[in-house]
A = this chain, B = another copy of it.
């Protein structure tokens, strides 16, 4: 990938995350990325295309960070499912945490079946799949159900941490997750 393109996407992710999508103008992104508008429109034909590119790039980066952190934190599937919420806590504690970019995007582009929306849905699907894979390795009756519950806990902790500006939503969700997993394994 070209360096300019990379810089544009990185800047877009940062500004979209901080200020939202509609509130972040093209000119602003180009300026912060030290790229002229002309060059920018050679890489992305429209703002929507840039948004989709930024979301997809962030998707890759984020899931890589998240899964790697989970796998570095614990060995067994059981411990890893719980470690998800430790990783979430670390995420929420970052100074530039403004909630989940994909949730925020869905909030701004909720009405139409756009590529933006599809990208967000796909991200959530992939995250759920990851949790499901871990749950499948447990000796439980209904791993899919358990995974759905844990995914909901994760989403809830993200939003709660975002609204309350308190990363401890992850700790609360972790306790709940433990109970749900243990209950299913008993």
Contacts and interface: CB of A to CB of B under 8 A. Distances in A.
A23 B111 CA distance: 11
Contacts of A160: 124, 151-152, 155
Contacts of A121: 163-164
Copy count, this protein chain: 2
A107 interface: yes
A174 to B, nearest CB: 10
Nearest to A156: B156
A49 to B, nearest CB: 18
Interface residues on A, range: 35 or more
A138 interface: no
B22 A22 contact: yes
15 contacts: A18-B111, A99-B107, A99-B110, A103-B103, A104-B110, A106-B163, A120-B163, A148-B172, A151-B160, A153-B153, A153-B176, A155-B156, A156-B156, A156-B157, A176-B176
Given A172-B145, A176-B153, A159 B108 contact: no
Contact of A107 (B107, B124, B157): B107
B22 A23 contact: yes
A169 B152 contact: yes
Contact of A22 (B20, B145, B151): B20
B124 A98 contact: no
Interface in A1-60: 18-20, 22-23
A129 interface: no
A71 interface: no
A162 interface: yes
Contacts of A149: 172-173, 175-176
A180 interface: yes
